[in-house]
Structure formats: C-alpha cells, structure tokens
Chains A and B, each alone.
Chain A
Amino acid sequence: MAKINLDSILEGRRSQPHMLIEVLLDLQDQEGYLPEEALKTVSKELGVPLVDVYRVARFYKAFSLKPRGKNVITICTGTACHVRGSHLLVNQVRGQLNIEPGDTTPDGQFTVECVNCLGACALGPIVVHNGSYCDHMTPGKLRKKIDKAAGKKKEAQDA
C-alpha cells in the first residue's frame, strides 16, 4: 500500500478537535476509504479519542472503513430518481455484479453505492461513475457501462 500522506491534510488543523470531519473527508477523498492506521494518527494529532473518531466515521454516510473498488458506481435513489425508475438500476447491478449496494466485488473491480440525492433531480435517474455524472440512465445503458468498464480493464491487463 502506498504511504498515506496525512501531513498535508493535518496541516493547520492539529489539536483542533472540531476539524475531525473535514480531516476525515479529505482522507476519504485521497484514499477512497479510511484506513485504520490513518485514523489512529488522526486521533492523536487532533486530540480526539479514537472511539469518537470511529463513532464519527460510522455515523456519516460519506465514510467507508473498507477499501472500495476501482470503479465506484453511485446510483442516486432520491425521490425524483426513484419515480423515474432508479430501483431498476439497483436491480440491474445486483443481477449483473451479484453484489448488494455498499459492497465491492471480490475482484475489487466494482463498488456499488446508493445515495439519497445528488441534486441533479431534473436529469434523473442519475448514476455517477468514478465522479462523472451520467443522466437519464436506463438498466440497459448501465449494463453497457459496466461491461465497458470491466472490458477496458481486461484490455489494459492484456497490453
């Protein structure tokens, strides 16, 4: 595992317990999840007991304590997306990848997550693939997207 660079994240925030969430968000953005070792350092440097660091990490949805896949597929299940069939998209990935939302495929290729609203309701249903928004999704479009992401990976390995 690459060495985690916490110094830049902690700079200007040391010994300031109220900065915990901001620090964890930056760490999550950098690593994709919250590694245990890093949480211990955060606890020490901010002066927040480790148990409280974990409570916060478990409480907020933004945080993941497990590593996530190379492809993170986020399905918006907000009301507007729901009435336009986002539950069908969830069914689609369940069937295609054989995992439940929140889980990662055993090969570490895909993580599927649901979020309660991405604020792009007019274009629903919305799926975010590694940070880029895909509007008006259908199960078919999503299936192709996942196939493509899986296929691309294979080609890269072959090359």
Chain B
Amino acid sequence: MPRISQARDLETLQQHFVAKRERVKTTIVICGGTGCQASRSGSVIDAVRAALAREGLQQDVSVRVTGCHGFCEQGPIMVFEPGNLFYCHVTPADAQDIVSRTVKKGEVLDKFLYRDPVSGRTITKEADIPFYSAQGRQLLNFNKLVDACSIEDYIAIGGYRAVAKAIKEFKPEAIIAEVKASGLRGRGGAGFPTGRKWQEAHEAPGDEKYVICNADEGDPGAYMDRCLLEANPHQVLEGMMIGAYAVGANKGYIYVRREYPLAVKHARIAIQQAREYGLLGENILGSNFSFDVEIARGGGAFVCGESTALMTSIEGKVGEPRAKDVHTVKEGLWGRPTVLNNVETWANVPSIILNGAKWFASRGTDTSKGTKILALTGQVKNTGLVEVPMGTTLRAIVYDIGGGPKNGHSIKAVQTGGPSGGCLPERLFDLPVDFDALWEAGSMMGSGGLVVMDDKTCMVDVARYFLTFLLDESCGKCVPCREGIDRMLEIVTDIAEGRGRPEQLDLLQELAETVAEASLCGLGKSAPNPVLSTLRYFMDEYKAHVLERRCPAAVCKALIAYAIDPEKCTGCGVCLKACPHDSITGEKKKPHVINEALCQRCGICIGECKFDAITVR
C-alpha cells in the first residue's frame, strides 16, 4: 500500500493512476446509486461483466460502477467513454447485445437511447440531453468519473490535491479568508456563511475541537446528501480535512442516516482507504496536522438535523436540541468548539481551495454563490438530482430541466425546503433559487428538495401531510412546538374532513405565527411554514373546503365520492376483486357499481381499473 507522506508523493501517484486509466480503451460507466439499484442496476452490472468475459474483452474494456448520475427516473443508466453515448432503462438481458454490438462493433442501439418527452426525438449523447445540458454541474460531475470505493479513481481526477495545497501553502487563517471570500453558505438549509462559522470555531479557546459532517438528511423529498456521500465520499472527507486544518480540529464525525446503508458503507470504505494511504491519521502529508474521522449512524429522528440535537445524538443520548444561547462553534460536541456542516457544504470546499474563491463566486447571485444541488421530484417528467447555479429560476428548473408536467396535467405549485419550507404557486416560478429570494417568498431553500405538485395535489392535504410529519418528529421538549403543531393539525384535519369553520382560518394563521416565534429550535420555528405558505398562496383551496365542503383536487377523502362510469366499465371484475372493503358489486361483463356507504375512498380500484372507468368527484 503506497503511503503518501508528502505532496510530491500524491503527484507521483496521480500520474501513475492516470496512466493506468489511459491504458483502458473503453469504459462502461454504470450507475450503482441507490436509485438505480432500486431499478436493479446490480444485476445489470453482473451481466455486463459476464458478457465482457465471454467476449474476452476484460482487458480492453473496464466497467466503472459509480454513484448517482442524477437522472434516477431513467435508471439503470449506462454511459460509454469515450464518446459519451448514453443508454437508459437497461436490463440484465440486454447486456450481451450491448457488449457484442455496441462495445465490439460500435453500433448505437436505438432502443436504449433516451427519448426526449418534449420533442419526442432520441438523443445519443448524455451531454445533449436537456436534463443535463440545462444544468451547471460542478459537484455532481465528479460522480461518474469515480468509483466510490476506489481512492485510486479519486486521486486520478486530482483528489486530495486541495488538502495538500492547503497544508503546504496556506495558514489556517488564510483558508478561512479564502472560504469567506468565496461566499460559500451552508447547504443544509439556513445558509449561514461557512467562513464565518469556521472563524468563530478557530477563535474559540480550547485544544480539542471537532468537525462534523451532517448526513442525516431527514427532509422527505431530498436526497442530494445521500448521493454525494454514496458517490464521492473522498471529496467529502477532503473537505472535512481542510476544515479541520483551518479550525484546528483533530477529530471528525460523519453523522449519517441508517436509512442510507450504501452511504454508510462507502463512507466507511473511504475512511479506511484514506487511513491506509496516510491521508488520515498522524502528521498528514508530513505536516504537524493530525486528523481522523469516525462514523456515527443516526437512529431516524428528524430533529437530529438540528445541530445541538445531532451532537447530543453522537454522544449516544436522546437527540433533543437545546437553546443556542451559547453557539456550538464555542460549545458543541462534548462541550467543545465544533464546526458542523452539511455534506454538500463540505464537498464544495476542495474546489474552492484548488480553483480559488473567485472561481467559486463567479457563479450564483449577489448573496448566494456557487451552485446548489436540488432533488427534483413529484409530478414532473424528468425527476432526479439537478445542480444549477444559484439564481436559476424555478421555471427553468421545473420546465427546462424537469420537462414540465406529466400526463397532461398542469403544474400548480412547487414545494421547496421540505417540512421547513413552503409551497410556491406557479405565478412565482420566475423567482430565482437563492437563499434570500425563497425566504422572502415565505419558503426556504432547506436542503434543496423541490417537490412539484400538479392539479391532483390538494394544498390542504399537503399542509396536513407536513403537520402530521412534524408532529411525529417533534421531540416534544418545548411546548409551542409540541402543542402548537398538534393544534394546527387539529384545525387542518377539521378543514380536510369537512368540519372547518371560517373563523378557524384566522386562528390557524395566528397559531402558526406563534409557533414560529416561540419554539426552541429550528424544527419548531420553521414547522408553520407549510401552513403559512399554503394559507398565503392557496387560500381559495382552504375556502373551497370550508365554505363549499369541496376538495378541488379531489383528494380529501371526506369530501369526495367514487363512482363507476357505466359507459367505460366492461365488467371485467378486477376492481371488485381488488376492493378490500367489498364495496363494489356487479355481474360479469355488466357495468359494476360502487356502494357509497361501504366505500372507504382508498383509491385502490382506480389503480386497478384498466379502462379508466372510476371517477372521483
């Protein structure tokens, strides 16, 4: 095992690994991220390797299993290098065909090409697919260049050069100045200036300091942190190393959700490899700097995204937050100065050191610099991970990158920032995505989840959804959060179930404002956002529920009724069999009927009916 004991060793090693990669004629890059694994990329990888072996091509063709490419909806995804040929929806049965025709003969197989849902044309190269070409990828670009479990790959693309440069050329103060000048703000949600946080920790008295990487990512609908850590754990480690050197920490923790087993595994492998290469441990790169990292798995508690709760959790205790009268940069983990940054924040650091603050700050808006990774999900054609320069409009993201609405529906809103964020209506889609613009509009960047909602989504139901989530996740330590969320949920439930009274709308508003003001930690302070933003922008839907006892999107169970369209029903009996409540009756080949008294409006029959005969009103 080569040990890197000085910057020059790293250069030699990089040259060696690059030469090794250049000897390979063709590389098949296959996505092995959680998304593609869910669509069985693991078997595709095995089948491709077996086919290469059958053709005797193992020497000339290498298979690189990488982390997420971001275009999860199209998985499993395959890219061929050189040439950038892009295949999607590949199955194990296709492997032989792909190897013998595409790899051996250079044939482009039409059936695996991506078909643009907007223009209907097939596209050959990854770079030409609008989903990719409309982005500005800075961090995610590395994903397909490296095998997450290979430190060789990371070193080959220039990995760990930033930390070598930092240690050799910079004093800690100079690194902090560089990060400050870059304008990097915390990607976890609140957007606190990273350089300032580092400086405060650097100045805090004490010999023992810590850096923590927050990979808890409890926001439903966001998964960029999982992808980065899964795909390129060395980059996150390198960022942490630079941060630790800057603030004077010798120990780091990666706090990662247990729901992300692949991220845990890859981070563990990366730490082990970095130790073996001497990049973690004593006297890193021949300097006086010593640093090591450990992994702490989360136990599944949303409130542990709150810094003080997260630190208590690393200490092995119940993850309750505390008031931040003393900041964690002064008294954090075990009462010592601690810098906590999110995965994406850490991953941005190496490039800033390597390319300079100016390079980083050249993209983005006045107050939000660089790019932001967003998880684009919901009712849009192209879902996946998107990385755009800050300031890109919601419209460009939803329509140009996301390809617009699915199945002929119309897009009504986009929910940003998870349970801490809010719903923004279509008329505000020209807002730039940056920390401050979203905040002013009553929403939040949060960790960057964008859930697109169409006319089938009920905004009262969305508010109810988030309140249910937050009630479940509130740690219960402070009264405003514990009681306030419960009472808000009570009111929203009344409205959704047809018992709403007009005066409750004012009460809901007042309650939400109080919870926001009086809660102890960020969970409670931001919990009312989904309510406040839907009240602000979708009052008409609330009013329809309260005044007309009607759910315009036909979602709220108490206010809708199911029926079978006798014109369309063929009497096939599928719905009858599927209905768990025995509410459907009818003879074979004759139109069936739903008994409204028995119907639980569970919606199962809709999913089962092949003739579109079930109507909801």
Choose among B223, B299, B376 the residue that contacts A120 (Cβ–Cβ < 8 A).
B223
The answer to whether A22 and B296 touch across the interface, beta carbons within 8 angstroms, is: yes
Q: Is B319 located at the chain interface by the 8 A CB criterion?
A: yes
Expressed in whole angstroms, the minimum distance between the Cβ of A17 and any Cβ of chain B is 6
The answer to whether B39 and A25 touch across the interface, beta carbons within 8 angstroms, is: no
The answer to whether B300 and A61 touch across the interface, beta carbons within 8 angstroms, is: yes
The answer to whether A83 and B34 touch across the interface, beta carbons within 8 angstroms, is: no
Across the A-B interface, give the 9 residue pairs with the lowest CB-CB distance, nearest first. Answer: A95-B580, A60-B299, A78-B220, A61-B300, A122-B72, A80-B377, A133-B38, A119-B223, A91-B602
The answer to whether A18 and B580 touch across the interface, beta carbons within 8 angstroms, is: no
Q: Is B453 located at the chain interface by the 8 A CB criterion?
A: yes
The answer to whether A79 and B384 touch across the interface, beta carbons within 8 angstroms, is: no
Q: Is B449 located at the chain interface by the 8 A CB criterion?
A: yes
Residues of A with C-beta under 8 A to B217: 117, 119
The contact sample of 15 A-B pairs, CB cut-off 8 A, is A25-B258, A25-B299, A79-B466, A80-B375, A95-B581, A117-B218, A117-B219, A117-B221, A122-B35, A122-B383, A122-B384, A133-B38, A139-B604, A139-B608, A140-B578
Other A-B pairs, 6, CB within 8 Å; known A20-B316, A80-B220, A122-B383: A80-B378, A116-B473, A117-B221, A121-B449, A133-B38, A143-B578
The contact size tier of chain A is: 35 or more
| Chain B residues within 8 Å of chain A by Cβ, number | 64
Expressed in whole angstroms, the minimum distance between the Cβ of B88 and any Cβ of chain A is 13
Q: Is A92 located at the chain interface by the 8 A CB criterion?
A: yes
Q: Is A19 located at the chain interface by the 8 A CB criterion?
A: yes
The answer to whether A133 and B37 touch across the interface, beta carbons within 8 angstroms, is: yes
Q: Is B469 located at the chain interface by the 8 A CB criterion?
A: yes
The answer to whether A92 and B602 touch across the interface, beta carbons within 8 angstroms, is: yes
B230 closest partner in A (C-beta): A119
A contacts with B: majority SS: helix
A68 and B164 alpha carbons, distance in the complex (Å): 49
Residues of B with C-beta under 8 A to A138: 607
Interface residues of A (CB under 8 A from B): 17-22, 24-25, 48, 52, 55-56, 59-63, 77-85, 88, 91-92, 94-96, 115-124, 126, 133-135, 138-140, 143
Q: Which of B230-279 contact A (CB under 8 A)?
A: 257-260
The answer to whether B259 and A92 touch across the interface, beta carbons within 8 angstroms, is: no
A-B interface contact total, Cβ < 8 Å: 173
Q: Is B405 located at the chain interface by the 8 A CB criterion?
A: no
The answer to whether A88 and B221 touch across the interface, beta carbons within 8 angstroms, is: no
Interface residues of B (CB under 8 A from A): 34-35, 37-39, 72-73, 75, 217-223, 226, 257-260, 296-302, 313-319, 375-379, 383-385, 415, 418, 449, 451, 453, 457, 462, 465-466, 469, 472-473, 475, 578, 580-581, 600, 602-604, 607-608
The answer to whether B316 and A96 touch across the interface, beta carbons within 8 angstroms, is: no
Choose among B34, B223, B316 the residue that contacts A19 (Cβ–Cβ < 8 A).
B316
The answer to whether B297 and A123 touch across the interface, beta carbons within 8 angstroms, is: no
On whether A91 and B34 interact (CB within 8 A), knowing A59-B319, A83-B378, A116-B469, the answer reads no
Expressed in whole angstroms, the minimum distance between the Cβ of A149 and any Cβ of chain B is 17
Expressed in whole angstroms, the minimum distance between the Cβ of B509 and any Cβ of chain A is 23
The answer to whether B300 and A122 touch across the interface, beta carbons within 8 angstroms, is: no
The answer to whether A80 and B35 touch across the interface, beta carbons within 8 angstroms, is: no
A36 and B599 alpha carbons, distance in the complex (Å): 42
A88 and B578 alpha carbons, distance in the complex (Å): 13
The answer to whether A79 and B383 touch across the interface, beta carbons within 8 angstroms, is: no
